[in-house]
Structure 1
Amino acid sequence: MNSFAKYFRALSVLFTLFTAMGDACWTKRTYLTLTNDLGPGLQLSLHCKSGSVDLGQQYLAPQGSWSFDFCSSFWGVTLYFCNAVWNGGNKWFDVYTGKRDSFICGVCGWSIRPTGPCRDHGGKVDCFPWNS
């Protein structure tokens, strides 16, 4: 077999493997849960997305939760942001940024409050202001 045929066969095998593993996670999988902590009687509408993934509109009753997971970028550039809408509020925040969260959030919970989102990771709670 000539060298071109060997090269082509190797590329075909690699292409097949990468295609079959297209959904594989090459870095750690991150799990986020968002909880409506706005207060009694306030429904929360969330729309979260990244640059390439739109997770759609979610509606959370008081104390209701919604979860999603993803593979973060090896380069630490993953960003997911959410728009939070409720009676009297329309805010947005970065629910995951690689720079801030990659070494903290393997599993993180977010409490969505009127004053801003609060992240719980392993019992430590950090609250953030809404993005301007």
Structure 2
Amino acid sequence: AQKTLFVRTHVRIFNNLGDNQGVSIHCKSKDNDLGTNVIYNDQCYGWHFHSNIWGITLFFCHFSWSGGEGTYDIYKAKRDCRRCDWY
């Protein structure tokens, strides 16, 4: 973990639901609330950050669309790489 402390991590979430269906995304970590964003088909929402010094950074997002909703861990420092793309 020591060598990745100062490396910037990029996370992108893509909407591929089709039919120009929007998805509302609200992402946050313990220290950062990124607010609610809506993306439509073939659009993406992303952000970048540096993992905390302990290597325990976690971002989770709540998704809501016409077909349902759910909350998912989008970035876990011990699981994910420096560039995470979710579809």
TM-score with structure 2 setting the length: 0.87
Higher helix fraction: Structure 1 or Structure 2? 1
TM-score with structure 1 setting the length: 0.59
Q: Deviations over 1:8-45 (max 9, x none)?
A: xxxxxxxxxxxxxxxxxx52110111111122231110
Q: Deviations over 1:24-75 (max 9, x none)?
A: xx52110111111122231110000001100011110111111100111232
Higher strand fraction: Structure 1 or Structure 2? 2
How many corresponding residue pairs? 83
Distance 1:106 1:41 in 2: 29
Percent identity between the aligned chains? 39
Aligned with 2:83 (options 98, 101, 107): 107
Distance 1:27 1:75 in 2: 12
Match of 1:93 in 2: 72
Superposition RMSD on alpha carbons, in Å?
A: 1.2
Distance 1:80 1:99 in 2: 12
Aligned to 1:99, the other structure's residue is in SS state coil
Moved over 2 A (4+): none
Confirm or deny that 1:63 pairs with 2:49.
no
Match of 1:80 in 2: 59
Report if the CA contact (8 A) 2:75-2:84 is conserved. no
| Larger RCO, structures 1/2 (Cα 8 Å, 6+ apart) | 2
